[in-house]
Structure 1
Amino acid sequence: MERSALDRALLTDRLDWNLLRTFLTIVHERSLSRAAVRLHITQPAVSLALRRLEEHLGHTLIERRGSNFRLTRPGEEVLRIATDVYGSVARLGAELTGQQDEVSGLLRLLTVSRIHSGVYDECLAAFHRQHPRVTLQVDVMRSSEIVDALAQKAGGVGLSLYRQSGDKLQHLLFLRQRYAIFCGRHHRLFGRTGLGISDLLAEHFVSFSSDQLGDVLAPLAVFRDQHGFSGGIVATSASLDEIRRLVFAGYGIGCLPEHIVADDVTQQRLWRLPPEEGVADIDLYLLWNPERRQTPAEAAFITHFRHYVARYSLMERLGDTVNAPLAALRTPTAEAGKKNT
């Protein structure tokens, strides 16, 4: 098959491969300033590298309007080619040493903050035992950024809240988190019993940035609208830890995952408010784009994750620790090997 014009331009010996590496970092970080931090260079140097690459290829690769960031069609093609190139480079060492069967290379995992699960912790430990040559890079991002990056093939694997849409991402349900309403020790409702929803309607709220119609935490906004909450939004954040902090400080009441703040309730830092059944179940998914060619490390992680967590119910995955015999914590490969001996 004849190579595209971009293929030929990228393979020419006149191309500085550092420009390609900078381009990949810009796409992964979705920001020139964050790419500069990642590469330990200045932001003007990153901007210059992008401009030089675009001039060499004769195409605009990235369109930026304020905080919006979008790859052009040539940009998507360059990303595909560059990802293939660097995937081949990552496999080069193993090929030269005759270790083709051992998975190695970089696994970049895009994830939301504060995943609270003993099963997840043990899953990562088992993956490292099974694939010690894989280097793991964990990038904490907002759910919307993760989904956008995966949809544009700028990332391989993500753990994120997800509202299924037309982006064709593959998704595997991992956690089902029950959100409930809490107030903090400094709030006037703290410690009060016998309350009903009607007692909360005029209270101010501390809200997630994504707690709005059309976003990943939309069920929380729908609940407030349906019940006629009239208090104002007095504080917002994209960080669960900051929402938890602001609720404790008495800025207002707020929705938080029950299993994450269970210790805060026990220690009387937070107080559970009605309704007793909670507000909404919000799901966390493992995500990947089936149209993006996976590296061996990404493919190995997806397979391992699917097999590992399938042994636990949704309720068990919310626990702090994995209360199971040691044999149950072995990797799927090890278990299969034992059965076949």
Structure 2
Amino acid sequence: MIVEQNVPLQAYNSFGIVAKARELVRVRSEADVLALLADAGRAAQPKFVLGGGSNIVLTGDVRPLVLKVEVTGRRVVDDGPRATIIEAGAGENWHEFVRWTLDQGFPGLENLALIPGTVGASPVQNVGAYGVETQDRFESLDAIDLATGRVFTLDAAQCAFGYRDSVFKHAPPKDGEASGGMPRGMGLAGRALILRVRFRLPKPWKPVLGYLDLERKRAEAGVREPTPRQIFDWVCAIRAGKLPDPRVLGNAGSFFKNPTVTPEQCTDIIAREPGIVHYPMPDGSVKLAAGWLIDACGWKGKSVGNAGVYEKQALVLVNRGGATGGEVVTLARAIQTSVYERFGIRLEPEPVVV
């Protein structure tokens, strides 16, 4: 178990916000967690699990004990006639893992290319893009209870996936005792650390298209039946054209969730705003493009201090250089107020404010 004091976190959060961890433990195996729990002083401390830092806004130094997830490893668990099961350590870089699956000849994750962060964060956030979400390819995961040290396995139903949501984003009940190796209650935020994630890649492979940007790429290339690698390259090109590279301009990707409304609400909004971008959903609701709502309120390119709205995509908030977490939060709240006052819709942030 490697323990470090007063660790700068600027390189560990994609917003590039300056902050420190009072104490940081590098978790490279479940043995590291067990060693931590055997230390009475550290075991009793509040804990903050940190993966790739691509979905957080740091508003100051982190007082809880930071558990930096660095569990690595990739392997094929099973290659059957109906699906291939692939496993990766929670600390693996997500995009490189997606690339690796294609290199091994196992397609299915190509629509999720270039999403920042780690493999372990993918089920926490139920990451999704261009018609595919983690839950569509998820098999199971192994996690460790930070109170008891017990390792447990969750399937998709137990992860309670929702739109950019899962059991890992909700706090456990105060009386949530461990039961059968798994913490009782639905909330696992701050209670569990994901070690490994397994994905089920179905056979035969079928391309997931349908999104306008992908259809445009297919038309430009003159390709009727694209390969997984072509879709991977198209997604990378689309995302690179819309979203800034966090290594160049700090950001956390899409900052707000796309809100859903009833068909009646959508009809009412269209009557006032005919150009609003919206998508009918399978459950009968209608998803609205949060970026369009923010742009319509005139926020694209605007700033609060050193935090700003990206010029090419209003859904992305950026660090223009030296932004604090407070400036990011202030900007986000101002945007929420504008959208609510104009459209009567409350935007929900994706990142976790720490």
Please classify the TM superposition score into its range, dividing by the shorter chain length.
under 0.3
Query: What's the TM-score, normalizing by structure 2?
Result: 0.22
Q: Select the structure with the greater relative contact order (CA < 8 A; seq sep ≥ 6).
A: 1
Structure with bigger helix share is 1
Structure with bigger strand share is 2
Which one has a bigger Cα radius of gyration? Answer: 1
